[in-house]
Amino acid sequence: MAATKRIGVLIMFFALAYYVDAISRTKPVASPDIYKGRNVAKDKIAPGEKIVNVLSFGAKPDGKFDCTQAFMDAWRATCKSNVQARLLIPQGRFVVSTMFFAGPCLTPGPITIQVVGTVVATTDISEYVNGEWLMFEDLDGVKLIGGGTFDGMGKESWATTENCEADQTDTCVRNPSSIYFHKVRNGIIQNIKSVNPKGFHFFVTNCANIRLRLLKLTAPATSPNTDGIHISNSIDVKLSKNTIETGDDCVSMIQGVNNITINKLKCGPGHGISIGSLGKYADEQEVKDIRVKNCTMVGTTNGLRIKTWPDKYPGSASAITFSDIVMENVKNPIIIDQEYDCEPANCQKKPSLVKIKDVVFSNIRGTTISPIAVDLRCSKQFPCQDVKLKNINLNLGPKPSGSRCTNIKPVYGGVQRPAACL
Ligand SMILES: *[C@@H]1O[C@H](CO)[C@@H](O)[C@H](O)[C@H]1NC(C)=O
Ligand SMILES: *[C@@H]1O[C@H](CO)[C@@H](O)[C@H](O)[C@H]1NC(C)=O
């Protein structure tokens, strides 16, 4: 399909999607969990549920035919159904360009998108005028399940990527995320694979009550900005039993994330679990109530990281717990870095204005490859408050590793390897 024609189709769909600026700061509102007490692992076709197969709308599973229009038509038939409905993507390879799965939908219950086969992204980056690949927006109740795969075909686009992570000015243009959830509440993404996204595997923003479970995300260790799950401005998000091997953070959480649980994540290669960078923009919402437990990090550059920018904006991160984490050959297993992208321990910039408070690292064990396994560098203007380290056992081969503390007085308990800061 010629690019001009495709853009025509997109604009047509725009009107239906009433697109909202991706960096909108409206805070999602908590509401009762509609899946509470239900077995979310089980997929049952409801009595009378309508099955909308993309093949019936002209999609071809040959890995060549452009199925974008077929997917859009099939989505509309699913979303506008006033009986329960599911969109089915069967076996095969379906090439799809950027598109919206926009709501609100008319189905009485959560809509199901069952992906059995592989959805393959187109490679011409100029088509991605809306910034992301598959955009789920304005939905209340959606399940993305089925064991299938999203292949972002990222390889070509990585060659022309800047490093957005350390971009001081935020002029860096991110590559499209594979799956973008925006203004979604009551969402489940479960038993789905993502390979080689152009940008993030999953991007969750302005969302409430989202579960991400049993996901397998893969990209080369060298692929740029391929965060596994990137979350901003969202509340009540639960990640469990995910396996992430990628080129950037396995999970990154920035401003406005509240009440997030990460359980049984296996991460590596990658840059670990990251809160931040924070304090990059004016008026950032606070980050609070984050629980990370029973995770394993293998060969990652960082393990558990909180990072904030010096010489920029205020912000806050509090009530954060990391517990029962195993590290294997991790470079910076425990790191608070309030001198992000500045020379460690000799940063000449104005101190960070982000307040870090009430952080617990407990039962963190395994091996590191760094002489500073516990690196806590806080802001001179706002020293870190109430940071506890309990039962830390990190070894650098046969030798002990070290700790560094600036503008922080950690509270220690139990075993401390490396030794506590004096
Ligand atoms: C946090 O989120 C969970 C769902 O992930 C929810 O059950 C719980 O009520 C939330 N807690 C608060 C304090 O909002
Ligand atoms: C979580 O980790 C703790 C400590 O390593 C362990 O005792 C516990 O069995 C783990 N829980 C699960 C559910 O794996």
Structure tokens at 333: 């297993």
The residue to mutate among 259, 292, 293, 318, having the most atoms of ligand 1 within 8 angstroms of its beta carbon, is 259
In the predicted model, is pLDDT for residue 17 greater than 80? no
pLDDT at res. 202: 98
Any atom of ligand 2 within 6 Å of the Cβ of 294: yes
Q: Which of 182, 201, 230, 271 is catalytic?
A: 271
pLDDT at res. 25: 56
Any atom of ligand 2 within 6 Å of the Cβ of 363: yes
The residue to mutate among 33, 213, 258, having the most atoms of ligand 1 within 8 angstroms of its beta carbon, is 33
CA-closest candidate to residue 317, choices 289, 288, 360, 283? 288
pLDDT at res. 163: 73
Ligand nearest the Cα of residue 185 is 1
Per-residue pLDDT of 51-102, as tens digits, reads 999 999 999 999 999 999 999 999 999 999 999 999 999 999 999 999 999 9
- Please state, in angstroms and rounded to a whole number, the distance separating the CA atoms of residues 115 and 193: 10
> pTM higher than 0.85 for the full model?
yes
- Please state, in angstroms and rounded to a whole number, the distance separating the CA atoms of residues 251 and 304: 10
CA-closest candidate to residue 81, choices 55, 56, 101, 51? 51
Per-residue pLDDT of 97-122, as tens digits, reads 999 999 999 999 999 999 999 999 99
3-25+110-159+174-417: which CATH topology? Pectate Lyase C-like (2.160.20)
